Amino acid sequence: MHFHKLKRREFITLLGSAAAAWPLAGRAQQPAKLPTIGFLGSGTPATQGPRVSVFAQRLHELGWIDGHTVAIDVRWAEGRAERAAEIAADFVRMKVEALVTSGTPTTLAAKQATAAIPILFVDVADPIASKLVASLARPAGNVTGLSNQTPELAGKRIEFLRELVPGLRRLAILVNADNPAAMREMSEAQAAARALGLDVATMEIRKAADIAHAFEALEGRANALYVQGDLLTLANRIAINTWTLGSRLPSTYAFREDVQAGGLMSYGARTLDLFRRAADLAAKILGGGKPDAIPVEQPTKFDLVINLTTAKMLGLIVPDKLLALADEVIE
């Protein structure tokens, strides 16, 4: 009986010491925290989901597998600069290894949030004028990436629009007045339009609610529309296209996504190619590379996309010359 008690007491003691050891063993076996990339998208999953997909796919090809060797934490600013600032601050608190940003306002928000964590931007029009980098060859600081813009793009969009719209005389430009890069592009577009002898009306918006007022004020003052490509205009592309078609205005855009959503035409850098290339630069940073040693890259290929369904709705015949130049035709 005594022997039995002793054994039992010994067993309980053993059990107690084993139980005390279990949490330690559990902690020891937990995997180390994965290096994390904070992906700050300027729009919504609906407008920009494919950008994340090609970025993650290319990282996977380079051996950085989401959930295994790296964690990609994706958040969306939904076209609002103040939300971008909140997300950027959150990523900084998390001490992510790198921040990937899209567009000028989101990148500026990230730069304000940290001078230490590497920031890799995509789709920034003019990184020097926006004071994100000191120069393209030597970015300096913690920011580098891929620009989407060459100054002559605005002019090319207007030239294509003029070929598509016979007798184009008055051009309206829709722009996010809170985005300095957008305002610079507006100046380029105004200069290009005036050089072609067009009258120009500008429509400045700062939030989604301004779009309806801008179109109401424009009534009868233009016969085509230039929409500046920006986090606000892209996030609200359905509303803008609804008003554009309702006003029977042929439109030109920066992004293919705008034309998929019913816009007439876009001309711009191949955005998905830029996000794929961004994964190569992110892999360099994950491998210990410093942003100031990675030059800013500029696009070499630009796509002309035309929506034939929208052209028909507007009673426009797309010239054969433009169809031959188009990289993609949406029917």
Confidence of residue 180 (pLDDT cuts 50, 70, 90): confident
- The per-residue pLDDT for 12 is 46
- The per-residue pLDDT for 7 is 52
CA–CA distance, 63 with 178 (Å, rounded to integer): 39
- 119 with 281: CB under 8 angstroms? no
Spans of all domains in the chain: 36-150+270-300, 153-269+303-330
Q: What is the pLDDT of residues 131-177, one digit of tens each?
A: 999 999 999 999 999 998 766 799 999 999 999 998 999 999 999 99
- Residue 25 pLDDT > 80, yes or no? no
Q: What is the pLDDT of residues 212-225, one digit of tens each?
A: 999 999 988 999 99
- The per-residue pLDDT for 3 is 45
Read off the tokens for 137.
Answer: 């060859």
- Residue 285 pLDDT > 70, yes or no? yes
Same CATH fold, 153-269+303-330 and 36-150+270-300?
yes
- pLDDT above 70 covers a percentage of the chain that reads 90
- The per-residue pLDDT for 152 is 76
- The per-residue pLDDT for 77 is 94
Averaged pLDDT score across all residues of the chain: 90
- Residue 193 pLDDT > 70, yes or no? yes
- The per-residue pLDDT for 46 is 85
Confidence of residue 230 (pLDDT cuts 50, 70, 90): confident
CA–CA distance, 305 with 318 (Å, rounded to integer): 12
- At the fourth CATH level, the homologous superfamily of domain 153-269+303-330 is Response regulator (3.40.50.2300)
Q: Which amino acid is at 103?
A: G
CA–CA distance, 33 with 31 (Å, rounded to integer): 6
Confidence of residue 17 (pLDDT cuts 50, 70, 90): very low
Q: What does pTM read for this prediction?
A: 0.81
Q: What is the 3-state secondary structure (H, E, C) of the chain?
A: CHHHHHHHHHHHHHHHHHHHHHHHHHHHHCCCCCCEEEEEECCCHHHHHHHHHHHHHHHHHCCCCECCCEEEEEEECCCCHHHHHHHHHHHHHCCCCEEEEECHHHHHHHHHHCCCCCEEEEEECCCCCCCCCCCCCCCCCCEEEEECCCCCHHHHHHHHHHHHCCCCCEEEEEEECCCHHHHHHHHHHHHHHHHCCCEEEEEEECCCCHHHHHHHHHCCCCCEEEECCCHHHHHCHHHHHHHHHHCCCCEEECCHHHHHCCCCEEEEECHHHHHHHHHHHHHHHHCCCCHHHCCCECCCCEEEEEEHHHHHHCCCCCCHHHHHHCCEEEC
| Class in CATH terms, 36-150+270-300 | alpha beta
Average pLDDT over residues 221-234: 92
- The per-residue pLDDT for 158 is 96
CA–CA distance, 96 with 5 (Å, rounded to integer): 56
